[in-house]
Every structure is written in C-alpha cells, then in structure tokens.
Amino acid sequence: MSMQILESLLADLKKLKNPQKAKVLARFFKTGKGEYGEGDVFWGIIVPKQRIVARRYIEKISFADLRYLLKQKVHELRFLAVVILVLKYQRGELGEKMRVADFYLQNLNRINNWDLVDLSAPQILGDYLFEKDRTILYRLASSRNLWERRISIISTLGFIRNRDFYDTLKIAKILLLDRHDLIHKAVGWMLREIGKREKKEEVNFLHKYAKKMPRTALRYAIEKFSKEEREIYLKMC
C-alpha cells in the first residue's frame, strides 16, 4: 500500500467535504438505524467532483490502496474506489480486465449500497461474464445479502446491452417474490431494459408473472408502456 498516494487522495477529498450535503445524502441513502444504509458515513461530495479525483489517481493507485478504500465506512471513499475499478476495467487489456474482475469478486462484500452496485455490476461483471460461465450470478441471486442479490440482477444489464436476455429473465423469476423494495426496483428496471430492445420478451414474462409481481417491480417494468397497457397490467397486480 502506498501511504503517500492515499494521503494525497484523502487530502484532495477532504477539501471537498460539504456538511450540509452530507446530511441530505445520509437521509437519501437511508442510514438510520435498521435502514439499508445503516452505518454509512457521508462527507457530502457530489459525484462529478469524485469522478475528477478518480481520474487524477487511476494510474497511481494500487489494488492494495483500493482495498483500503473499500473497507472504509465513508461512502465517498468506497464510491471513489468503485469508480476507479470501472475505469481500470474499461481501459484495460484482457489481463487487466481479469485482475479487476477477480478483485471485484474478492471484495464483493464492500459493494454495499445501491449506487455502488449500479455503477459497477454491469460494467465489470456484466461485461466480464458475457462469454463465461454465469453460475456465480445464480449463487448471488440466492444470497441472504441484499446487495449480492441486487448485483445478480443488475449485472445482467451487461448481457441485455448485447441482446442476451436469458439470464436476466431467469434471475428475475428467482427474485420475483423478494421482500426488499430495492430488489423489486432492480427487477422491474431490468425487465424494462429488455422491453426497450425486444418488447415481446418482456411482454411474455409479464403475461406469466405480472399477477405475482410486487407492484413496485411491475410499475418499473411497464414505465415505457402506453397508458392503456399500463392500466391493463396494474389491474392484474
């Protein structure tokens, strides 16, 4: 671990702290007792400024440094690490992509809020697993951990972008009766993404499962449908 690099990075981020914004973000990300983001600490740094800092350090920072950042309670430090991982993956050759994907899987327990999942899962796992065995996504879909379940379905956005819908639909079925609102939203979102590319695939799924789906998932899924179509499906729920 390079303490000099980390000290420099932390100093750059601390200059951007905004206590008022931190309070807003803490409420938005549900950090209260018993809420999904309990224990998360915010410095109140907006995403565009974090991305600027990330680009400044992408060539300097090591995987050990990134592991250190991911272990921190401060949300922006984990977010910065995830931004850098995505950039490293996107810019890297095959060997670097493998290193990033392996590191990501080794530190999956620190990808522990919905923005961290949504930023990284499709860009890293969704791309990396496209031509590989996808069994790990099914293991994650059956996890007791909320964020692992969200990773399982959101990763498939990488497949959807390549018009491969098979695993999204199978995992959506596994998660259909999940109890958490953040999974309902994720499932509905991925079904909507399928519908943007091949509406018939989404409609076939909805014909089978709309009556069983949580209302939130259904609303997300049919968001782009006509008013008349939406009313038909919502009456099923």
Domain match, 67 and 11 both: yes
In angstroms, how far is the first alpha carbon of the chain from the final one?
A: 53
**Tens of pLDDT, residues 74-98:** 999 999 999 999 999 999 999 999 9
> Is the confidence at residue 118, as pLDDT, over 70?
yes
Domain harbouring 56, CATH code: 1.25.10.90
- Give residue 3's pLDDT: 80
What phi and psi values does residue 74 have, to the nearest 5 degrees?
-70, 120
Model pTM score: 0.95
The verdict on 99 and 176 lying in the same domain is no
Which domain range does residue 209 map to?
Answer: 132-237
151 shares its domain with 92: no
Is residue 2 scored above 80 in pLDDT? no
